[in-house]
Amino acid sequence: MSNNWLWETAANLGRGIGSGEIDPVDLTQTYLEAIEVHEFSSRIYARTTVDRVLAEAEAASERAKAGLRRSPLDGVPISWKDLFDTSGTICEAGSDLLSGRVPTTDAEVVKNATAAGLVGLGKTHMSELAFSGLGVNPVKETSPCVNDHSAVAGGSSSGAATSVAFGLAAAGIGSDTGGSVRIPAAWNDLVGLKTTSGRLSLKGVVPLCASFDTVGPLCRSVEDANLMLAALEGGKPANLDGASLVGKRFLILDTIAMEEVRDAPKSGFDTACDALKNAGAHVENGAIEVVHEAMQLTGVLYSAEAYGTWSREIEADPEKMFPPILARFMAGKDVLASDYVKAWQRLAEIREIYAAKTAGFDAVIMPSSAILPPNVDRLLTEDGYFNTENLLALRNTRIGNLLGSASLTLPTSTPSAGIMFTAGQMSEHKLLRIGAAAEAALA
C-alpha cells in the first residue's frame, strides 16, 4: 500500500489498476485508513460505507485480474455528497429535517457509476439542503478549506471538495444549483464541472430546485472530470487528444461578473487570462446587458421553488434549521404564482438573446468567485455577513445556472481562486477539450 496513491489523479489510479500495479482492495483500504485517522474526517464525511465499498473493491479486483474492467476508473474510490441516495445508507442532505432518512434504492447516477466500477467510500457533508454557496453548517458539520482551515470550504458540495483536496477520495460527486460544485472546487484548487440541466439524471437526488439542480464531479484534473462525466451518464468520454487553445475566442463577461471582484481572485484570473493568450487564444471584454435582468429573477425563481419543495417539512420544524438558511427558504413563501410563471417566460427569452450574443465565442470566462473563502467564526457571529458573502460567492456561478450553460472551473496560480469557462447547453465535451488545453497552459 502507498500513501502516495491518495494524491494521484483518478485517471492515474485507474491506469495503475489496469496495469496490475494497484489492487483496488489495497487502494480502498488505504483511503479508509486515511479517513479514519485524518483530523478533519468527521467534518468531511458524514458517514463511510465500509461494507459496501470493500465489496465493490473486491469485485473490481477480480475484474482487473480477469481482464474484464468496466471502465478506465473501475476500482477507483470516490465520495458522494449526502444528497445522493444509496440503498440502506442514511441520506440527510445536511439537514435535521431529514434525520434518519434511509433510501431503499440507489440514485440513477450512483447506479451508473457503480456499473462503471467506481467504488463509493461514503457520504460527505454539505450545506443544509444545499441552499448555500459557503458550506457553513452548524446543524451538522462545516468542512474546512484546504488553504485556510479557519475558513469555509465552499458549498454546498463542501465535503465533496474537501474529500479530494485533503486526499480522502480520488474524486467527489456533488450537485450544482447556483454554484455548489464550482465554488468549493475553486476554493479548494480543484477542477469542477457543472453539467447542463437535464444531462445527468436527478432520480434519487434530494432536490433543492429541480429546475436548476445539476450533478457534477469535483476532481484533480480535467481528464478526471471527463472520465467521471462518462461514468455518471453511462456514456463515452470526450477525446481530449490534441486539445489546443490556438484560435479559440473567449469573452470576459464585464456585465456583473467583474464587479466587486476582490484583489486575490482578480489577480488569479488576470494571470490565467495572460496564460490563455500566450497559448494562442483570443480574449476580449464585452457586456451583455440581459445578464443583469436574468440575475434579478433569482429571488423569484429560486426561492419560490425551494420553498415549494420543502414547505411542509420546514413549517413543521423550523427550529431545526440554521436561521440564515431558513430565511432563504422563507423568502419564497409569498411569491405569487403569476410572478413565478412570468419570470420563467422572460428567462427563456433572455437565454435565447444571450445564446445569440455569445455564439461567436468558444466560451465566456470570468472569475469563478468574486471572493476568497470567508472565516467560519465571522459567518456565525456577525450580523449580515453570511448573506453578503453568500450572495457575492455565488454571483458569478449563478450566471451559468440561470442562462442554462455548462460550466467548468479550473484552479489558477492564486490559491482558492478559479477561472470559469461557460458555454452553451450540452457543450460539456467541447468545454472539457478547452479545459484540457487551458489546464496545460495554466500549469
Active-site positions read 81, 156, 180
Q: Which residue blocks in 188-303 are alpha helix, DSSP H?
A: 222-233, 263-278, 290-296, 298
- How far is residue 294's CA from residue 302's CA, in Å, rounded to a whole number? 12
Residue tagged 470559469 (cell numbers):
420
**Closest among 216, 132, 230 to 181, alpha carbons compared:** 216
> 93: helix, coil or strand?
coil
Q: Kindly state the cell numbers that stand for 178.
A: 447556483
> 229: helix, coil or strand?
helix
- How far is residue 296's CA from residue 343's CA, in Å, rounded to a whole number? 10
- How far is residue 180's CA from residue 306's CA, in Å, rounded to a whole number? 15
> 83 — alpha (psi -120 to 50), left (phi > 0) or beta?
alpha
Please state at what angle helix 222-233 crosses helix 10-19, rounded to 10 degrees: 70
Please state at what angle helix 222-233 crosses helix 428-442, rounded to 10 degrees: 160
- How far is residue 13's CA from residue 7's CA, in Å, rounded to a whole number? 10
- Residue type at position 321: M
Please state at what angle helix 50-66 crosses helix 10-19, rounded to 10 degrees: 50
- Beta-carbon count within 10 A of 289 CB: 10
Residue tagged 415549494 (cell numbers):
308
Residue 205 DSSP label: B
